[in-house]
Structure 1
Amino acid sequence: MTTALTNPLQLAEDAQNLLFHNARTANAFTDEEVPEETVRAVYELVKNGPTEFNTTPLRLVLVRSDEARARLLPHMLDNNRDKTAAAPLIAILAADLEFHEELPRLFPYFPQAKDVFYGDPNDRAESARFNSALQIGYFVIGLRAAGLAAGPQSGFDHEGLDKEFFPDGTHTALVVMNIGKPGEDAWGPRLPRLEYDEVVTTV
């Protein structure tokens, strides 16, 4: 007879709280700088998250300079512009639509995958967006693991931002993410989630 574990999760409770239970999408931040080494440490952690054929189509543009902010902010929707302007660090998270060029190096077991699965530009773009979305999720968890809060936003002029930051057409922005230490009244109450039995079906 197998005895059920009282807590089947191997993640400590304080880590569960940091990454999930107490974490929110932040709307306000302190003015504390987010150093380069912190972002690098987050990436080195989350780059190991699984993707299709080990594709890594996510590309990050860290918006730090006043000049780059001035280029970005006009493309944000009105209700997002002030939040983004006040964030210590802004990241544009984009999908590389030519990610397949790296596949012979990233997935050497099947070098033909570059052409067999990603020869069609439409299929390639769909895969780039899907796998980038996976990586964005990992990146949010990584930021939380570093004690930071993230405010991912899709409310921006996608076409205008792409023309501004990716004029060659090989990348497309998916999310503009505000990053920093959470400030006063950074988030609202936890919104409801669907329960296990509403989501999971066993067959």
Structure 2
Amino acid sequence: MTVIDNSAVETLFTKARTHNVWQDRDVSDETLHELYHLMHFGPTSMNCQPTRILFLRSQEAKERLKPALLPGNQEKTMKAPVVAVLGFDTEFHEHLPRMFSHNKDAKSLFEGKPDFIHTTAFRNSSIQGGYFILAARALGLDAGPMSGFNNAAVDEAFFPDGKVKSNFLCNLGYGDAEALFPRQERFAFEEICEVL
């Protein structure tokens, strides 16, 4: 592996921002496919890949989401070109014989253990969610991830069979840089890190 150049670091991290105001520009199906293609290389334990994604583009789909959003998140979400609902499959372990094929017993480790399933699925879908944001940025998209919504309402509206549970939402598009808030402070290394 090689160190990426400073331009790539800026795109992914230091100059990237969370956007709330969007330009009137569409996000193509091809871009969404490429986003997933990049994201799916991110690591998950036992290659479990529990994330399931709904890309809400139509106004009708966004209106189904709107009642589940906190009031402060409604306008920016309705105006986003795409809203991604990132959820996790509570039956991810059913796919382990295919996805983790060198361990024939992997599926059995989860059977009958709902807490272990939930913890594993939530943790790994969150990891995949981080890669989702980085993949979006790598493709020139801006991202507006958020957790200000009613999970139960989202699950009822979009995952009614109960198998998939929502983790977080992420607005996608091309942000309006003029509408950004000043970047807020981050903790210094010494405040939250230790080397032991």
How does the TM-score come out when normalised to structure 2? 0.95
Which residues in structure 2 correspond to 1:40-119 (within 5 Å)? Answer: 40-119=33-112
- Return the alpha-carbon distance in structure 2 between the equivalents of residues 38 and 69 of structure 1: 19
Indicate whether 1:22 and 2:22 are aligned: no
Indicate whether 1:162 and 2:155 are aligned: yes
What 5-or-longer segments of structure 1 have no aligned partner? 1-8
The residue aligned with 1:129 is: 122
The residue aligned with 1:5 is: none
- Mark the CA change 1:111 to 1:73 in structure 2 (over 3 Å): closer, same or farther: same
How does the TM-score come out when normalised to structure 1? 0.91
Residues 89-137 of structure 1: CA distance to partner in whole angstroms, max 9, x if unpaired?
1111101111111111000111211112454011101110000000000
1:177 match: secondary structure: strand
2:53 match: secondary structure: strand
* Residue correspondences, number: 195
Displacement of 1:54 in angstroms is 0.6
1:25 match: secondary structure: coil
- Return the alpha-carbon distance in structure 2 between the equivalents of residues 119 and 41 of structure 1: 36
- Mark the CA change 1:186 to 1:95 in structure 2 (over 3 Å): closer, same or farther: farther
- Return the alpha-carbon distance in structure 2 between the equivalents of residues 41 and 153 of structure 1: 22
Greater CA deviation, 48-57 or 113-122?
113-122
2:69 touches 2:149 (CA, 8 Å); kept in 1?
A: yes
- Return the alpha-carbon distance in structure 2 between the equivalents of residues 22 and 118 of structure 1: 44
Displacement of 1:142 in angstroms is 0.5
Greater CA deviation, 26-35 or 115-124?
115-124
- Return the alpha-carbon distance in structure 1 between the equivalents of residues 194 and 59 of structure 2: 50
Amino acid at match of 1:28: V
Amino acid at match of 1:46: M
- Return the alpha-carbon distance in structure 1 between the equivalents of residues 194 and 148 of structure 2: 33
2:16 match: secondary structure: coil
Of residues 179, 186, 202, the one that matches 2:195 is 202
2:63 touches 2:78 (CA, 8 Å); kept in 1?
A: no
What 5-or-longer segments of structure 2 have no aligned partner? none
State, as a whole percentage, how many aligned pairs show the same letter: 40
Residues 18-39 of structure 1: CA distance to partner in whole angstroms, max 9, x if unpaired?
1100011111110100001111
2:93 touches 2:110 (CA, 8 Å); kept in 1?
A: no
2:33 match: secondary structure: helix
- Give me the CA root mean square deviation: 1.4
